[in-house]
Structure 1
Amino acid sequence: MDEHLGTPEFYADPYPVLRRLREEAPVVWSERMGGWLVTRYADVVAALRDPARFSNAGRVHYLLDQLTPEQRAGTDLLQRHYAVGVGHADPPEHTRLRRLLTPLFQPQRLAALTARVQAVVDQLLDAVAGRDAFDLVAALAYPLPAIVVLEFLGAPPADMDHFRRWALDINGLFAGGGRLRPEAVAVAQSSLVEMRAYLDDLIAERVRNPCDDVISLLAADATRDRLDMAELVSTCVTLFVAGHETTTNLIGNGMVALLRHPGVLAQVRAD
């Protein structure tokens, strides 16, 4: 089954292959993907809850170590960036960082965003109203979470296109599964340099002039020595790169699913 993994056909309809893996080889090494595949829910949960045996720390360094010295040259920033941050740590470091982030996502704080999210949705849909056809991802699925996340962080939505390019380049680092492509490493490193320089300037501005946004709150933690600057920048990168892509994919895939199941679409419209 390994030859099917990662192919366009697999991504178009992965379910038969995944079903067969769950039944015949729920934990298996994939040479094509360059890593172990765990496909049963209970096994996935067990692995995620056992950082002593399934560590999250050092995973990017492990991938970089597979490159030749020539290919790995110039990746110092990548290595420093992925050495810290909530997405790349195990307990107790992960626990400490998560505890600092939890207040940012309290229900009352997120509930206050509801009206703003609805306003952004209305604005984006008004811009395409009356058209016979439009690109849903370009018109709504990408800009909606990007605008909301940038405002949540405290970055100007006008810089959305910069953040989109940086996020695509950084996420592209992991497109090869358990193996890094040298060209993707170079692109990710370049965009990470730009994004971190931008965030350095924005954080410095929020230290001087705090606002009611995430970067200001995290910068205050940094000034109280609860968070160091490397962790702060890494966390801001993670919040945007991971925070918008999932919603973009949800909107796009959700609309495809509704169009393929008109009965469900009719129920949504009637609700």
Structure 2
Amino acid sequence: MRANHFLIGAGLLVAGVMLVDPALAQALPAAPPAAPPVDNGGALTRAMGQISGDGRSLSLSLQILVLMSLLTVLPSLILMMTSFTRIIIVLSLLRQALGLQQTPPNQVLVGLALFLSLFVMRPAIDQINGMAFDPYGKGQISIEEAVGRSGKVLHGFMVKQTRETDLKLFANLAEAPPFRTAADVPFSILLPAFVTSELKTAFQIGFMIFLPFLIIDLVVASTLMALGMMMLSPTIISMPFKLLLFVLVDGWALTMGSLASSFAT
């Protein structure tokens, strides 16, 4: 049930972004004036008719086109607008700092990042479930209001994780007027600012992770050079010490806990 709520909430998030921000909403195809309305009584048809903006349902072919387009960009949009970006970058840098090429494999890293992202985004998902999904399922609100509420929840999460300097940068590039409150920032400015801020935070965390392992590499390389073993690769000798240090300090728990706490506001 949680998984169904998350998938439906994710769809509402993407639709909310497209409807809340007029610049992104223009990407949706408009209903042709000569096309006859199609109403099969399903929720998808009514939703597409409301998204078209003129009160008429889109034709079946356009409905399929819009649905397939959303399914194509849905994973990338959801991943870039959540905590996944920061988490997967930090985990990848950790693997490189340990000197391991394919251990853990990419599938394991992506799985860890997804589960940790679900843990971090659980408050937002619960808000979307309570404010948008449940009322819409009971017929209390329309699809437009449901996606609008979902977009506001995601907007609030991204604003809290975005640096003010990054927001000012993209606002100046867009020549946007000053915003009175954080809620007035449009998605067209907030999205690139949020991604930029996440990348910066991820590399800062990765730098702190690299430091202790870099010291081990320097010590091992200096020792081998002093012993005249210049033909022996320092990586082969330093890797067991890195793994030993990582296990002794319970590195995975520290890394996952630090990543989760870095999103606390």
| TM band (smaller chain) | under 0.3
TM-score w.r.t. the length of structure 2 is 0.23
Tell me: higher relative CO, structure 1 or 2? Use CA pairs within 8 A at least 6 residues apart: 2
More helix, by proportion: 2
Structure number, greater radius of gyration: 2
TM-score w.r.t. the length of structure 1 is 0.23
